[in-house]
A = this chain, B = another copy of it.
Amino acid sequence: MAARLELIALERFPLVEPGNDLAGLLMAALQDNQLTLQDGDVLVIAQKIVSKAEGRYIRLAEVQPSERAEALAAQADKDPRLVELILRESREVLRVRPGVIIVEHRNGYVHANAGIDKSNIRNSLLDPQVLLLPRDPDASARQLRRELARRSGTAPQIIINDSAGRAWRNGTVGMAIGTAGLLPVRSQVGERDLCDNVLEVTEPAEADELAAAASLLMGQAAQARPVVLARGACLQGAECGSGALLRERSRDLFR
């Protein structure tokens, strides 16, 4: 738990292309911003640049929608080829209404349109393409952590974040879809509070809180800054991924 937390959005991060060495771009951007990785630093990285580096583009012209996709597309008033991709990226469709299809992504998170993105990608009206989420964001995070450790001597904690809508509340917030080197949900069950009562259930989803904080700095529009260095977050270290953030379906009252 920090007393002071500093979040620094890296300036001048280049546009990322498929096949780019993301760890290399990160190292160069840190240097360009006169920053050196320190123990306990967290790098929060926008999903979009991970997907781009991993070449997760799909040209809609290459997608053949299934019958199910056609039917769902009519219901949701969406391009059937996009809906086909949403279905391929998902385990289950949870809700549909015009303009939005909310699914459980095959990686477990609940996400509108399976997180498939049409913004901030070079596009043409004649041959539109979309960008899928990274195939395995925890693996992407682990690999970046390993590569950055190898090149810098310091292994930063990694959060890959994405903006997502929520039940009950308007607006999107950043959430962690992939992590490495940190415990995403801190357990405080059994600790004592200020007045010596045992805390009953207090498990802050710290990775999501930091993902949200970083999202505040990243921006969505032209001035987008896809990488945020967080210093002072004091996240607990752990060799696990982001799975603890996902509520089991059987324990979810709102699915």
Q: A residues engaging B (CB < 8 A)? A: 1-9, 11, 15, 95, 97, 102, 109-110, 118-123, 163, 166-175, 184-186, 188, 191-195, 197, 199-200, 202-206, 208-210, 212-213, 215-217, 219-225, 233, 244-247, 252-255
Q: Which of A170, A245, A247, A252 has the most CB of B within 10 A?
A: A170
A217 in contact with B5 (CB, 8 Å): yes
List B contacts of A167 (CB < 8 A): 110, 166-168, 247, 252-255
**Contact present for A3 and B217 (CB under 8 Å):** yes
Complex interface: chain B residues within 8 A of A166 (CB): 166-167, 205
Chain B residues, Cβ within 8 Å of A185: 170-171
A169 near B109 with CB under 8 A, answer yes
- Contacts A171-B204, A195-B120; is A209 near B216 (CB within 8 Å)? yes
Knowing A221-B193, A252-B167, the reply to whether A209 touches B205 (Cβ < 8 A) is no
CB pair A5–B6 under 8 Å, yes or no, is yes
- Given A208-B173, A209-B174, decide whether A200 and B119 contact each other with a Cβ distance below 8 A: yes
Residues of chain B within 8 A (CB-CB) of A120 are 193-195, 197
Least CB distance from A205 to B in Å reads: 3
Q: Is the CB of A216 within 8 A of B221?
A: no
Which residue, A122, A193, A199, A225, has most C-beta atoms of chain B within 10 A?
A193
Question: Given the interface contacts A9-B4, A217-B1, A253-B102, does A123 sit within 8 Å of B212 by beta carbon?
Answer: no
Q: How many copies, total?
A: 2
Q: Could you list 17 examples of A-B contacts with CB < 8 Å?
A: A1-B223, A4-B6, A120-B195, A163-B202, A166-B166, A167-B255, A168-B252, A168-B255, A170-B245, A170-B247, A171-B206, A191-B222, A192-B222, A199-B220, A202-B220, A204-B215, A210-B213
The verdict on A203 contacting B254 (CB below 8 Å), with A1-B217, A197-B120, A212-B209 known, is: no
The CA-CA distance from A6 to B231 in the complex, in Å, is 10
Chain B residues near A246 (CB, 8 Å)? 168-170
* Alpha-carbon distance between A2 and B214 when the two chains are bound, in angstroms: 10
Q: When the two chains form the complex, which single residue of B110, B171, B188 contacts A203, counting CB atoms closer than 8 Å?
A: B171
Please, which residue of chain B has its CB at the minimum distance from the CB of A205?
B171
